[in-house]
Amino acid sequence: MSELFDAVDALLASRATLPPPAERKRLRTAHGLTIDEVATALKVRRATASGWESGKTEPRPPERDAYARLLDKLAELYPADTVVTAPARDAVVPATFTGTPAPAAGPSALPTGPAPQAPATSENTQSSPAPTPTPTPTPAAAAPAVVPRTAGTTRPSSASRRPSAKKAAPANTPAGGTDPRFENGPLAVVDVDDGKVLAYCTGGLVLDVPAKSLPSLVDWTLTEAKLGAPKLSGPGKPADPLLVLTEAALERYGLPAVLTEEERVAGRLPEGHKVIKQLVRAEWKLTKRGFGPWARIYHPATGSERACVQLCIPSWQALDTRHWGEAGQLPPAELARVLGVYASRVMTPRGSTAVTGLELMTALHPATRASEPDAAGKRHSEHNPGSLGKDPVDCAPCEVPDGHPLLKDLPRFHVRGPGEKLFEEAYDWARPLTDDECLRRHLVGIDVNMAFAAGANGLPLGLGAPTHVKDPVFDPKLPGSWLVDLSHVDLSRVKTGKDKWVELDGTLLPSPFTPKGDRPEGPAWYATPTVAYAVELGYDVTPVEAWVRYDNGRYLDGWYNRLRDAYLATMADLGVGADLSPEDFLAAMDGYRRRDPELAIVVSAVKATVKGGLGKLRERPRGEGWKPGQPWRALSRPTWRPDIRGAVISRTRINLHRKIVKHAAFTGQYPVAVLSDCVVYAVDGESPLDFLPYREGKPLPGGFKLGVNPGLVKHEGTQTVLWGEGVREQFSAPELNLARYIKDGTVTDQDNGE
HEC letters along 611-662: HHHHHHCCCCCCCCCCCCCCCCHHHHCCCCCHHHHHHHHHHHHHHHHHHHHH
The neighbouring-strand residues paired with 442 are: 683, 720
Answer whether 31's CB lies under 8 Å from 91's CB.
no
Look at residue 584 in the predicted model and tell me its pLDDT: 96
Whether the bond between 103 and the residue before it is cis, its omega within 30 degrees of 0, is no
**In the predicted structure, residue 111 carries a pLDDT above the cut 60:** no
Choose among 658, 107, 603: nearest CA to 345.
Answer: 603
**In the predicted structure, residue 341 carries a pLDDT above the cut 50:** yes
Angle between helices 597-616 and 353-364 (to 10 degrees): 70
| pTM: predicted TM-score of the whole model, two decimal places | 0.78
Tell which CATH architecture fits domain 2-77: Orthogonal Bundle (1.10)
- Parse the chain into domains and list their residue ranges: 2-77, 180-348
* CA 550 to centroid of chain Cα atoms: 32
**In the predicted structure, residue 700 carries a pLDDT above the cut 60:** yes
Q: Cα separation of 605 and 324, whole Å?
A: 6
State the average pLDDT over residues 464-479: 97
- The least confident of 363-377, 396-410, 567-581, 587-601 is 363-377
- The least confident of 106-115, 165-174, 271-280 is 165-174
Percent of the chain predicted with pLDDT > 90:
67
Q: Confidence band (pLDDT; 50, 70, 90) for 168?
A: very low
**In the predicted structure, residue 440 carries a pLDDT above the cut 50:** yes
State the average pLDDT over residues 463-491: 97
Look at residue 402 in the predicted model and tell me its pLDDT: 94
Look at residue 82 in the predicted model and tell me its pLDDT: 52
Answer whether 454's CB lies under 8 Å from 710's CB.
yes
State the average pLDDT over residues 678-697: 93
State the average pLDDT over residues 255-266: 94
SS3 for 681?
A: strand
Look at residue 103 in the predicted model and tell me its pLDDT: 36
Answer whether 469's CB lies under 8 Å from 545's CB.
yes
Look at residue 77 in the predicted model and tell me its pLDDT: 84
Choose among 230, 329, 279: nearest CA to 601.
Answer: 329
**In the predicted structure, residue 66 carries a pLDDT above the cut 80:** yes
Output the average pLDDT for the chain: 85
Look at residue 490 in the predicted model and tell me its pLDDT: 95
Q: What is the pLDDT of residues 292-306, one digit of tens each?
A: 999 999 988 776 667
Look at residue 11 in the predicted model and tell me its pLDDT: 54
290 backbone dihedrals φ, ψ, rounded to 5°: 75, -160
**In the predicted structure, residue 227 carries a pLDDT above the cut 70:** yes
State the average pLDDT over residues 227-232: 94
Percent of the chain predicted with pLDDT > 70:
84
Look at residue 162 in the predicted model and tell me its pLDDT: 35
Q: Please, what is the end-to-end C-alpha distance for the chain in angstroms?
A: 78
**In the predicted structure, residue 240 carries a pLDDT above the cut 60:** yes
State the average pLDDT over residues 659-675: 96
State the average pLDDT over residues 635-652: 97
Longest pairwise C-alpha distance within the chain: 107
Angle among Cα 292, 297, 300 to the nearest 5 degrees reads 140
Please state whether beta strands 552-553 and 673-675 pair in parallel, antiparallel, or not at all (unpaired).
unpaired
Report which secondary-structure segment, H or E, holds 370: strand 368-370
SS3 per residue for 511-578 = CCCCCCCCCCCCEEEEEHHHHHHHHHCCCCCCCCEEEECCCEECCCHHHHHHHHHHHHHHHHHCCCCC
SS3 per residue for 413-477 = CCCCCCCCCCCCCCCEEECCCCHHHHCCCEEEEEEECCHHHHHHCCCCEECCCCEEEECCCCCCC
Q: Confidence band (pLDDT; 50, 70, 90) for 57?
A: confident
Angle among Cα 566, 571, 573 to the nearest 5 degrees reads 100
Look at residue 8 in the predicted model and tell me its pLDDT: 56
- Calculate Rg over the CA atoms of the chain: 29
Answer whether 160's CB lies under 8 Å from 208's CB.
yes
State the average pLDDT over residues 85-102: 36
Q: Cα separation of 161 and 208, whole Å?
A: 7
Look at residue 358 in the predicted model and tell me its pLDDT: 97
